[in-house]
Amino acid sequence: MLTIFVSGKESIKFLKGIVKLAPLETLNIIVDTSDVYNFYGIRIFPDLINVFSLLNNRLDEKNFGIKDDSSYIVNMLREIDPDFELDEHLIGDRFLLTHLYFNKSLKEDIPLSRIISDYSKKKGFKCKIIPVSDDPINVKVFAGEEVYEYHDYASFDDEITFREIIFENFEKSKGTSLAVETILHAEVVLIPKVSPISGQSFLKIKEIQESLKKTRGHVVAISPVSEAKKDPKFVKALLLLNFEPSALGIAQAFEGLVDTFIIDISDEKMKNDIEDLGMEVFALETDLETEENQLNLVESVLKVTTLSIPALTGYKYKVKKTARKIKTGLKKLIKSEEKEPEEKREELLEEENSEGEVRKKK
């Protein structure tokens, strides 16, 4: 089984490639619920809606959200509220009505994870969509002289002065039991290009951090920053979190939790420094602007983790912690299948699992 963290537009782009290549029944999607904001008293979950839209083949590729959504409600609000400034493509009618359904259930004290599970079943989604927490967590940014929702972060002027990143309710919040379970039992866990802020959001929830440490699966993170494409706001956010504003800084945030770290080819000079943190490192082309790039990166990640063998074909093959040894094991597996498939595979699996146990103990 494959577990993937989703937070922000870049991770949605990567998920789009995964959905095209992986059987959905093998997929568990853990969604960030800290990037939330209020709209006329309605709690909005952008990442959840983007995941639903993608699985429904209705993702707005340009603005995200629901493709071809109507905007009657927003247009009416614009007429009657002189302070209304939101563009209509950000909150369409289907977008808003879906959140009305979520909020009605939340007011009835139904856990968010159950709401999302029931909604997914009604929509017929084959994969599991799991909120990272049922608790009301939120990230805010103190910039200039005001405190903003994290949702507004992307629209900030590059020159704005960042003063503090505020993580609300994280100390008291708990990871959902299903999120913890899917991490612990995953064959591969992917953390693709999450922003430095939401990445910290995941890691500040104790149960999520502990499950990443304990999982027997192969944990892979993809750096969201590179020398080729460095967002000034990302740089400021990393500095506020006391991390170097680079792929190395991102890797330091995941030290002790990640087995394989993917960096952009423009950051290849950092490879040795990141490997010193105890991670296997691969330099790849990580741009996700086009569908071709999305598929290429997903395929490359599958190759370096051998995800295409264990998770996508259903073999009970435990992914090893070193890519070189994984490739050697696969060569043995392929050769053995040419002779006595079941007997040789069982022998190899026993060997791989015993080595995996030794690595976990270390």
* Residue 318: inside a domain: no
8 Å CB contact between 234 and 245: yes
> What is the tens place of the pLDDT at every residue in 213-258?
999 899 999 998 887 677 777 787 778 888 888 999 889 989 999 9
Residues linked to residue 142 through DSSP beta bridges, in sequence order = 147, 164
Count up the domains in the chain and report the number.
2
3-state helix, strand, coil in the chain (%, to 5): 50, 15, 35
| Same-domain status, 140 and 231 | yes
| Same-domain status, 172 and 273 | yes
| Same-domain status, 206 and 351 | no
Residues linked to residue 2 through DSSP beta bridges, in sequence order = 27, 188
| Same-domain status, 84 and 179 | yes
Token pair 């084959």 is found at 126
| pLDDT, position 317 | 32
276, 293, 313 — which closes off a domain?
A: 313
Q: Do β-strands 42-44 and 37-39 pair in parallel, antiparallel, or remain unpaired?
A: antiparallel
**CATH assignment at residue 122:** 3.40.50.10680
Residue 309 has pLDDT above 70, yes or no: no
Distances (CA, A) of 25 to 32, 56, 312, 362: 21, 15, 10, 33
| Same-domain status, 96 and 238 | yes
* Residue 89: inside a domain: yes
- CB neighbour list of residue 164: distance below 8 Å, 6 or more residues apart: 141, 142, 240
| Same-domain status, 218 and 119 | yes
Handedness of CA 295, 186, 10, 230 (dihedral sign): negative
* Residue 80: inside a domain: yes
Q: What angle do CA 214, 218, 221 make, to 5 degrees?
A: 100
* Residue 40: inside a domain: yes
* Residue 117: inside a domain: yes
Q: What percent of the chain has pLDDT over 70?
A: 81
Of 274, 344, 276, 358, the closest CA to residue 315 belongs to: 344
For 87-96, what is the mean pLDDT? 76
Taking the alpha carbons at both ends of the chain, their separation in whole angstroms is 24
Domain that holds residue 261: 2-313
| pLDDT, position 208 | 94
| Same-domain status, 51 and 150 | yes
The torsion of the CA quartet 45, 46, 51, 52, rounded to 10 degrees, works out to: 70
| Same-domain status, 178 and 220 | yes
* Residue 319: inside a domain: no
Average pLDDT, the chain: 81
- CB neighbour list of residue 168: distance below 8 Å, 6 or more residues apart: 137, 138, 139, 140
* Residue 113: inside a domain: yes
pLDDT confidence of 328, banded at 50, 70, 90?
A: very low
| Same-domain status, 150 and 88 | yes
pLDDT confidence of 189, banded at 50, 70, 90?
A: very high
* Residue 82: inside a domain: yes
| pLDDT, position 222 | 95
Residue 337 has pLDDT above 70, yes or no: no
| Same-domain status, 240 and 291 | yes
Helix axes 9-21, 46-55, angle to 10 degrees: 20
d(CA 172, CA 296): 40
Residues linked to residue 198 through DSSP beta bridges, in sequence order = none
| Same-domain status, 114 and 21 | yes
| Same-domain status, 262 and 340 | no
Burial state string for 297-326 with b = 16 or more CB within 10 A and e = fewer than 16: bbeebbebbbbebbbbeeeebbbbbebeeb
Q: Give the three-class secondary structure for 140.
A: strand
